[in-house]
Structure 1
Amino acid sequence: DNIGRRGGSLPTCMVCANDSQAVGVARALHEHGVRIPQDVSLIGFDDMPAMDNMFPPLTTVRPDFEQLGIAAMKETLFLLGAGEETSFTASQHGVGLIPMQMISRSSLGPVLRR
């Protein structure tokens, strides 16, 4: 609701925690006359079905859900003492890394500043 009160100082890109949140952000931006991607780019996360049918189609990050499920199960077994090794072969600072893919669609583009 603060979009209209910001005095035109929008970021060039908004990255949302998930695609559902991005849909809500897109709606709020539209209600305030903010155009995607001309005024602000928008990125979601998880590549929910139908995001390519949104207007404009939503750029999103698609996690490898199969690898995420395998890693979660292996980590659970490891923590319970029933697994042979930790699930995350690639980790950084104790955080496991899961492969991701950027799905580039029309909600991402150069922002036109006036």
Structure 2
Amino acid sequence: MPGIVRFRSTVLDCPDTLALGRFYADLLGWKLTGDAEWAVVSDGSMRLAFQQVLGHRPPDWPDDERPQQFHLDLAVDDMEEAEKRALELGARKHEVQPSEDDEWRVFVDPAGHPFCLCR
């Protein structure tokens, strides 16, 4: 049975929508649209949006005080090249790397949200 709603976007709170939007647009190769309060990157079917929140406090994973609540898993073909590009764009590699088999690596975007690059 079809649902009565359709998925539209995943939205990240952040202090600077255009800066974070540019980061993900460049990382994903998607188009960026929007303004200082609301920005969107899209490939034409999937959307990742950014909402300005003044006083934004990023999650503190793996600490429980401000848990991550969710994160993005981004598929890659070449882990080393994807990591290099993510770091060039402003991500930082997280000090905690729970994957023992290197199937995924944890990073933090410029606004402090964790995300994973996954083989």
- How high is the TM-score relative to the length of structure 1? 0.24
Counting strand residues as a fraction of each chain, which structure ranks higher?
2
- How high is the TM-score relative to the length of structure 2? 0.24
Greater RCO (Cα-Cα under 8 Å, separation 6 or more): 1
